[in-house]
């Protein structure tokens, strides 16, 4: 059984034809299912939990929406005992393209072929993330696995954790390619080296693989977790290996 979660933004008239064509394709391929149109009053986690409780036949939850909709829902439901699909519809579909997912009705064929990969998921405090986590310039003390402590007390550092390689790979350190299928995360520490009184330049970054890390910042900063902004001064980041089952098209991300 398929459950389709439609992002609230898809109620706009501009998406009517896209959704109509999608539903026709899903019916023709025999994978139509229950449709739930999300709103501020409907929690995706509660919807999925209730449908799993009601029906033992629910195997697949398909999110229909753009990158923002997908990551926002996954932040809440990544631990659900189902396989996820994704039909990208909306203004921002960069992440979907990295999974080889075509826009709108064309994605029905991908769902019907049902190529599933298991993806690592990160968790930063209470939020899951599939794509990335970014901590802006701050003084950082970091503990990896409870045994190794790294302190940047003498300089500020910007921190990046990419689970999925970004489209613009020039923003990553040369030769470094993250993978959501390798059962580990890496934190990239980018310090700023001071030069003179009025200028500064980036020092070489450091990359540390980990499965659990704790970060203490000098003050609360705006941390970006898959597009969600939260103000935090202490972070616990951990890996949930192979936690998310996702239907994809072509896999440019895996080490398989």
Mean pLDDT, rounded, for 60-75: 96
Strand partners, 186: 209
What's the Rg (C-alpha) of the chain?
Answer: 20
Percent of all residues in the chain with a pLDDT value above 70, rounded to a whole number: 92
| Res 110: pLDDT | 97
What is the per-residue pLDDT across 100-132, written as a single tens digit (0 to 9) for each?
A: 999 999 999 999 999 999 999 999 999 999 999
Same domain for 131 and 46 = no
Same domain for 139 and 91 = no
Contacting residues for 214 by C-beta, under 8 A, at least 6 apart:
142, 143, 146, 234, 235, 236, 237
Kindly indicate the confidence band of residue 203, based on its pLDDT and cuts at 50, 70 and 90: confident
The H-or-E segment that residue 26 falls in is helix 16-28
Mean pLDDT for the chain?
91
Kindly indicate the confidence band of residue 157, based on its pLDDT and cuts at 50, 70 and 90: confident
Q: Is 35 helix (H, G, I), strand (E, B) or coil?
A: strand
Domain of 20 in residue numbering reads as: 2-113
Task: Say if 175 falls within a structural domain.
Answer: yes
Same domain for 107 and 59 = yes
The residue assigned the tokens 């994809």 is 248
| Res 9: pLDDT | 94
For position 74, which CATH number holds? 3.40.50.10330
Nearest to 164 by CA among 114, 222, 227, 231: 227
**CA-to-CA distance for 95 and 164, rounded, in angstroms?**
9
DSSP 57: T
Domain count, the chain: 2
**CA-to-CA distance for 176 and 181, rounded, in angstroms?**
15
- Looking at per-residue confidence, does 63 or 145 come out higher? 63
Tokens of 116: 């599933």
| Res 181: pLDDT | 94
The residue assigned the tokens 């629910």 is 58
Task: Indicate the pTM of the whole model.
Answer: 0.89
Hey, what long-range contacts does 167-172 have (CB within 8 A, 24 or more apart)? 167/94, 167/97, 167/98
Task: Say if 250 falls within a structural domain.
Answer: no
Among 57-61, 162-166, 181-185, 203-207, which is the least confidently predicted range?
Answer: 203-207
Task: Say if 248 falls within a structural domain.
Answer: no
Kindly indicate the confidence band of residue 196, based on its pLDDT and cuts at 50, 70 and 90: low
């Amino acid at each position: 059984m398929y459950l389709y979660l439609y992002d609230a933004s898809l109620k706009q008239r501009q998406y009517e034809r896209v959704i109509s064509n999608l539903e026709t394709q899903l019916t023709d391929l025999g994978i139509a299912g229950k449709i739930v149109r999300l709103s501020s009053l409907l929690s995706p986690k509660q919807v999925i939990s209730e449908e799993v409780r009601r029906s033992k036949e629910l195997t697949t939850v398909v999110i229909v929406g753009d990158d923002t909709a997908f990551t926002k829902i996954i932040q809440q439901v990544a631990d659900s005992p189902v396989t996820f699909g994704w039909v990208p519809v909306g203004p921002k579909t960069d992440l979907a393209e990295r999974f080889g997912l075509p826009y709108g009705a064309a994605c029905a064929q991908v769902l019907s072929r049902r190529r599933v990969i298991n993806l690592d998921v990160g968790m930063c405090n209470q939020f899951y993330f599939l794509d990335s986590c970014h901590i802006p310039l701050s003084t950082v003390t970091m503990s990896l696995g409870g045994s190794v402590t790294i302190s940047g007390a003498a300089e500020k550092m910007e921190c990046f954790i990419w689970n999925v390689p970004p489209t613009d790979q020039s923003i990553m350190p040369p030769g470094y390619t993250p993978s959501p299928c390798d059962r580990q995360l890496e934190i990239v520490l980018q310090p700023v080296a001071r030069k003179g009184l009025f200028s500064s330049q980036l020092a070489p970054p450091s990359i540390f693989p980990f499965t659990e890390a704790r970060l203490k910042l000098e003050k609360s900063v705006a941390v970006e977790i898959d597009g969600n902004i939260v103000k935090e001064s202490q972070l616990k980041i951990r890996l949930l290996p192979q936690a998310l089952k996702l239907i994809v098209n072509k896999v440019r991300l895996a080490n398989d």
